[in-house]
Amino acid sequence: MHLRDIQSGRREFLVCGATAAAAVAGLGKWSVEANDDGPRKILECLDGDRESGTSRAVIVGDVPLVHTEQVFAKGAGTDADRDVVVAALEQALELRLTAADASLDSAVRLHFYVAANDWVPVIQENLAQRYAGKYQPAVTFVTGKLAEPGMMIAADCVAARRGAISAGKVARFAGTAILPAGDKLYVSGDAKPGDVPTATRATLESLEQTLRFARLDWSHVVQLKSFLDPIDAADDARKAMRDYFGDRPLPVLTFVEWESPTLPIEIELIATVPPELGNKSGRSVEFLTPPGMKASPVFSRVARLRSPAVVYTSGLYADDNANSAACVRNVLGQVRQLVDRAGGNMRQLVKATYYVAKDETSAELGKIRPEFYEPDSPPAASKAAVDGVGRDDHSLVIDMIAAAG
């Protein structure tokens, strides 16, 4: 890949709290008339931090969202060498987003997967330069071995798209899939036993049953996120997915290393919902349990979202890291605060991802979640035991998607 300084000529056009549309060279105008309830800002950040180039949360109006596949970069050595690696990773994301009529400048959330925590400050410095204006995206960091041999960092992105696409239909480009405006479906991580190929196929079969329950099929699915042990078996999982889908389009894929003594792979998904099949409950979030599955007070099997705007939090860390219980309560308290500020509440959480690096923290998370969630409306969720969460001396990072207002 030819490297260039992708930060030169950077266009600063997204302003936190702005109420007017912003002109973007080559992208036309962003509409602020995003929903039926009146204008909502296309992108609004909560607690943007110019030092790290990230916000604690981003609110996005009901516009198409481009999801990229996971991209990888290799590198080591000096910080200068690492800057080039991070720039190459950003360029790979930008190329995919540009083909789908989006840009890193309209990133809603970025997930970074790093081989070691010392990559995090290099990435943050790079983000701080790119997002030096008043807008910064939500960002999550996870530490562990990556799904491509020898790679040191990987990333995927969700970005707002200017152009409209047909409601309920996923548009696909090279390395991306576009979640249309309108209702959305979030399915918790599903897992079946067996070796990696067998478990992957069985899990996809189970997820297909869940889609049928929601009267959807694989054409509606935007992303599959897999938690895999061992991560070295990612090629086997990809092949099993390609074999299962056959001639059907494969959703964009992301792989995360996790530690599981019995289940080699857990897969979650995001899908669009056609208007005629949408949430008719009158609430912004509808929680569903497919036949044959048991409801849980700490996670929902399926969450169906209808909202004029959506909140994406960054990976949130505890301010109080004294012990695992305090850590969990602190992070979930931050979630509550951010959702409240966005005009929502804890019954409007649709998708949680919990990355835990200690068994004690994982156990406390299970005990404490009922303190924050109503038993009939916990978010769809995945919990992954990981090597690290991007910061030394921390054992938990949580990111969340929720209805706003």
- Residue 102's domain is classified under what CATH number? 3.30.1330.40
Residues 116 and 39 occupy one common structural domain? yes
**Are both 188 and 162 inside the same structural domain?**
no
Q: Name the domain boundary from 179, 211, 240.
A: 179
- The reported pLDDT for the residue numbered 134 is 79
190-228, pLDDT tens digit by residue?
A: 999 999 999 999 999 999 999 999 999 999 999 999 999
Nearest CA to 401 out of 281, 223, 250 is that of 223
- How far apart (Å, rounded) are the C-alpha atoms in residues 314 and 123? 15
What's the confidence (pLDDT) of residue 219? 98
Q: Is the predicted pLDDT of residue 354 greater than 50, yes or no?
A: yes
pLDDT band with cut points at 50, 70 and 90 for residue 78: low
Same domain, 54 and 125: yes
pLDDT at 117: 95
Does one domain contain both 46 and 133? yes
Last residue of some domain: 255, 272, 289? 272
Q: Does residue 20 register a pLDDT over 50?
A: no
In this predicted structure, which of 62-76, 188-202, 328-342 has the lowest mean pLDDT? 62-76
**Quick one: pLDDT at residue 320?**
74
The reported pLDDT for the residue numbered 2 is 32
Q: Per-residue pLDDT for 18 more than 70?
A: no
Q: What is the pLDDT of residue 24?
A: 29
So what's the pLDDT on residue 322? 77
The pLDDT-based confidence of 114 (bands split at 50, 70, 90) is very high
Give the domain extent around 153: 23-179
Residue 32, pLDDT > 80, answer no
Q: What is the pLDDT of residues 273-304, one digit of tens each?
A: 999 998 778 899 999 999 999 999 999 999 99
334 falls within a domain: no
Do 122 and 203 fall into the same domain? no
Tell me the pTM.
0.90
Within a domain: 87: yes
